[in-house]
């Protein structure tokens, strides 16, 4: 049998753990989540969301869409999540990504999320070798 003190310690530990997990979940989904590295493909967000277009076959269309003002984003290869380019300094959202359309990159920056939208203020972009199982998309 456990003592009353041990039971209270266990309950306090569980409450602390639950609170910590809840806080981590909230930070990960709403507001400013901090500095991050994201590895994935630079995509045209409209064509990707509306008809799954991505990859080398869609690169020229994506460049044209970006030049028309469509925000580029990163399709994170590990999770399949899309992070839209968010220029919190009010600069051109596509400037740092345009030369990397349809390519695998590592982006470093500050991640934000609110209302289901995820974005990253791109601070640096580094092109990476293509993934071994990279799949092209449709145009």
pLDDT digits (tens, 9 = 90+) for 50-89: 999 999 999 999 999 999 999 999 999 999 999 999 999 9
Look-up: residue for tokens 């209270």?
A: 8
Residue 33's pLDDT is 73
pLDDT for residue 132: 79
3-state secondary structure of 20: helix
Residues 6 or more apart in contact with residue 29 via CB below 8 angstroms = 113
What percent of the chain is modeled with pLDDT above 70?
A: 73
- Domain extents for the chain? 31-127
Predicted pLDDT of residue 116 = 93
Pick the CATH number of 31-127 from 2.60.40, 2.40.50, 1.10.10, 1.10.357: 2.40.50
User: How far, rounded to the nearest angstrom, does the alpha carbon of residue 116 sit from its chain's CA centroid?
Assistant: 12
Q: Which of 79, 58, 61 is nearest to 70 (CA)?
A: 61
Say what the pLDDT of residue 11 is.
Answer: 52
pLDDT at residue 18 in the model: 44
Regions of the chain with pLDDT less than 70: 1-30, 133-139
For position 101, what pLDDT does the model report?
98
């Amino acid at each position: 049998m456990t003592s009353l003190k041990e039971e209270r310690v266990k309950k306090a530990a569980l409450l602390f753990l639950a609170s910590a997990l809840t806080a981590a979940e909230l930070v990960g989904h709403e507001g400013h989540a901090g500095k991050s590295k994201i590895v994935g493909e630079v995509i045209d967000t409209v064509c990707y969301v509306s008809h799954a277009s991505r990859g080398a076959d869609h690169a020229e269309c994506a460049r044209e869409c970006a030049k028309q003002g469509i925000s580029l984003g990163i399709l994170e290869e590990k999770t399949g999540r899309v992070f839209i380019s968010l220029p919190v300094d009010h600069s051109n959202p596509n400037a740092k990504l345009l030369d990397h359309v349809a390519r695998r990159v590592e982006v470093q920056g500050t991640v934000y999320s609110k209302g289901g939208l995820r974005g990253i203020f791109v601070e640096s972009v580094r092109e990476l070798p293509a993934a071994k199982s990279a799949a092209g998309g449709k145009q």
